[in-house]
Amino acid sequence: MIRDNDGKVPKLYIKTVADLETLVNETVDKQKVTPKKMNALATRGLNAVRQKIRKLNKEYETDIQAYRDDKDAFMKEDEEITLPAPTKKTKTKETFADGQQLDDEDDGGWEGVGKDGRAVRYSPESILKHLRSIVEARGRKNTDRLEQIRIMEKLLDVAANDYQRIRVLLTLISTRFDLTSNSGNYMAQEQWRL
């Protein structure tokens, strides 16, 4: 987590653990003054969470204190994250040595090579067919999830209307979470950026 953020702890993490600690402390305080006590299992669980939070928050005491002092100023980003502007495709003509011309029209499609070596065409008309095959492959052994993500990013570029974009984005989100579900690690930051 820290290595992907230039050695800094993400501000959202600091905000979350500080708010969680505040919430747990408020719950413990309420429990002390209420006449109806929690059952023993719930009390043990609450105390275990409280101890773990205290232990983990010792590492980030200065950041947590800075957050609590001025929440709005702490959460402002130091640097603006700029997303690349979408590029417009243009119509080009290429002339070969023998005088033939090739018109490269922007027909909204993209062609790649599939696993079997055949050309695979990504076009607005075939988006739903490709999405269906990706959804069917989810959960199978030896499924290359990174390749599925790359395909869906290409489909997102090719999508012609909002409905297609939404369908691609919903499937893309699920696939990105599938990528890290078995590893037990956190999701890399480049997967969070669109």
Average pLDDT, the chain: 76
Q: How far is it, in rounded angstroms, from Cα 187 to Cα 110?
A: 29
Residue pair 121/114 in contact (Cβ under 8 Å)? The answer is: no
User: pLDDT tens for residues 75-108?
Assistant: 776 544 555 555 554 444 444 444 444 444 444 5
User: pLDDT tens for residues 132-164?
Assistant: 888 888 878 888 888 888 888 888 888 889 998
- Please state the pTM of the whole predicted model: 0.40
Domain ranges of the chain: 3-75, 109-192
Q: How far is it, in rounded angstroms, from Cα 100 to Cα 152?
A: 35
